[in-house]
Structure 1
Amino acid sequence: MGTVRSSDGTTITYDKIGSGPPLILVDGALCYRASGPNGGLAAELADRFTVYTYDRRGRGESTDTAPFSREREIEDLAALIKEAGGSVHLYGISSGGALALEAVNAGLAVEKLALYEIPFVVDSSRAPIPADYESRMESLLAQDKRADTVKWFMRAGVGLPGFVVAMMRFMPAWSKLKGVAHTLPYDVAFVAPFEHGQPLPADRWTSSVPALVVCGGKSPAWMTAAMRQLAEVLPAATHRTLEGQTHIVKPAALAPVLAEFFGEGR
């Protein structure tokens, strides 16, 4: 375990395993080193890369500094990239992919970028987020209603059926989800502008960094449509579908695809 200090003084805690070119993995909503998919993915990639996983601010063993802004999370990544040698490959899953995308767009030293299923809503194949999505989330958190905040995110943001959300409170991980509920607005800040059922803007992301946009073959139509469209608007992107995979992608299925992409042309 190591730590780096971000520009605003926030301490970001990370793990590093493996050897080879540096690769940073970015978690999505409610995930961190001790609870999420990137630990298993790092283990699958450690034979070819020096893999960094980290706790985004406010989660796990990282600290936090108010007020939040999207720029602060990008600065956190910048500090970790510096620690990793100054230039890296970058992978982000779900809303962590949106953070990674914005970090590259901001000019961080990334050689190649891979993204898995950012939850943009770009057409009518699912309902857009409600108009009060963000304000209601902030209100629930202000009242310290963490369980209700997670439920609201799962229903209105993720689009899960009500009965599925109701059952989640009986899952062993429920207490961990509530523990990081206060960071949900951080993820929402990156994805909510593109969850209103409108096509992605053609000129929003201008970086020429080579990108790989991946989705699961068994994921819902709205998710796969968003990833196809994202690959079309990025200046230097290719699209890949992992047959048999969902949003909960298996590390063993994803790792070879990432290793092939990041291993080319280095």
Structure 2
Amino acid sequence: MQTVTSADGTSIAFERHGEGPPLILLHGGSAPQYWKPVVPRFAEDYTVIIPHRRGVGESGDSEEYSLARGVEDIRAVIDAVDETPILFGHSFGGLLAVETARTAPVEKLVAYEPAVLVGEYRQQADLASQMQARIDDGDRRQAMKFYIREVMHGGDIDDLDEWLAEWPPWPDIVALTENIARITRAIEQYRLPDSLDIDAPALLLTGTEGPPHLRDGIRAVDEALSDSRFVEFEGVGHGGPTEALDRVIAEVRAFIDGKEAPAPEGSD
């Protein structure tokens, strides 16, 4: 584990795996361990770097948080890397990747369902306040269930408890409830600009079973970029990078290597 000092003096920890050009993986609401199954797919060819988000894992914390502060944290990690990195973010990590790429040198940008809210959904979004109300009532577990139902399943799932019983991060992720509430507040405050001034080519990934509001958001990001490839995975949800590991990694590797995208399953 290594550390860098962010702009406000907070210590940000990051892992290094493998050797080669730098590939920075940015986790979403879950812990950095989210990327564990992904690392071996890249570590032979890349130096895989996994920052621990402020207040999570081995990183330090601060009383206040904002998206801008999160970007400062990632920029501090980028400054510690010898070469221009590739950024690959999932969910909130995808939003961090997009915003970091606007101001930092990035070779390529990959984002799976970045946490961007648009349209009527953004205007009415109050997930953070509803989470906080449950936290204030002393029910952190219900606050996290509420978050998972909305963000992972778009508010529509028949038996959440049954799904959670098979979901590896549960119930440990409950420990991150307050941290997730505050990044949710940052997400709700974010307004996507009409155009994103990013020099690096971008790969935008989504799944047909992902939350509708995030699928709307990633399409808006695609429209705001001048150089992007949009890929949709049939039958895949918000957890795509680990849920459909082979398919997602094949697409990401083809993009990074500058090759044609892999043929869809079942094609000749």
TM-score over 0.5 for the alignment? yes
Residue from 66, 82, 85 that aligns with 1:88: 85
Equivalent in the alignment of 1:184: 180
Give the distance between the partners of 1:86 and 1:72, measured in 2 at CA: 23
Residue from 226, 230, 243 that aligns with 2:221: 230
Equivalent in the alignment of 1:12: 12
* RMSD over aligned Cα atoms: 2.8
Equivalent in the alignment of 2:59: 62
C-alpha displacement at 1:76, in angstroms? 0.9
Structure 2 vs 1, CA of residues 90 and 167 (structure 1 numbering), >3 Å: closer, same or farther?
same
Deviations 1:187-219 (A, max 9, x none): 324432479xxxx6523x222321111112444
Equivalent in the alignment of 1:247: 238
Residues 9 and 65 in structure 1, CA contact (< 8 A), matched pair in contact too? no
Give the distance between the partners of 1:120 and 1:230, measured in 2 at CA: 8
Number of residue equivalences: 254
C-alpha displacement at 1:174, in angstroms? 3.0
Q: TM-score, normalised by structure 2?
A: 0.81
Equivalent in the alignment of 1:264: 258
C-alpha displacement at 1:224, in angstroms? 3.8
Structure 1 alignment gaps of length 5 or more: none
Structure 2 vs 1, CA of residues 128 and 165 (structure 1 numbering), >3 Å: closer, same or farther?
farther
**What SS is found at the alignment partner of 2:86?**
strand
Give the distance between the partners of 1:243 and 1:163, measured in 2 at CA: 21
Residue from 174, 184, 194 that aligns with 1:202: 194
Equivalent in the alignment of 1:32: 31
> What pairs up with 1:122-161 in 2 under 5 angstroms?
122=118, 130-158=124-152, 159-161=154-156
Residues 121 and 226 in structure 1, CA contact (< 8 A), matched pair in contact too? yes
Equivalent in the alignment of 2:266: none
Give the distance between the partners of 2:138 and 2:145, measured in 1 at CA: 13
Residue from 203, 207, 212 that aligns with 2:203: 212
**Percent sequence identity over aligned pairs:** 28
Structure 2 vs 1, CA of residues 167 and 151 (structure 1 numbering), >3 Å: closer, same or farther?
same
Deviations 1:39-73 (A, max 9, x none): 21121111221111121111112121121122221
**What SS is found at the alignment partner of 1:53?**
strand
Equivalent in the alignment of 1:173: 169
Structure 2 alignment gaps of length 5 or more: 260-268
Equivalent in the alignment of 2:262: none
Give the distance between the partners of 1:243 and 1:169, measured in 2 at CA: 22
Give the counterpart letter for 1:3 in structure 2. Answer: T
Residues 216 and 241 in structure 1, CA contact (< 8 A), matched pair in contact too? yes
**What SS is found at the alignment partner of 1:4?**
strand
- Does residue 75 of the first structure (1) align with residue 72 of the second (2)? yes
C-alpha displacement at 1:169, in angstroms? 6.3
Structure 2 vs 1, CA of residues 170 and 238 (structure 1 numbering), >3 Å: closer, same or farther?
closer
C-alpha displacement at 1:13, in angstroms? 1.8
Residues 41 and 252 in structure 1, CA contact (< 8 A), matched pair in contact too? no
> What pairs up with 1:87-106 in 2 under 5 angstroms?
87-105=84-102
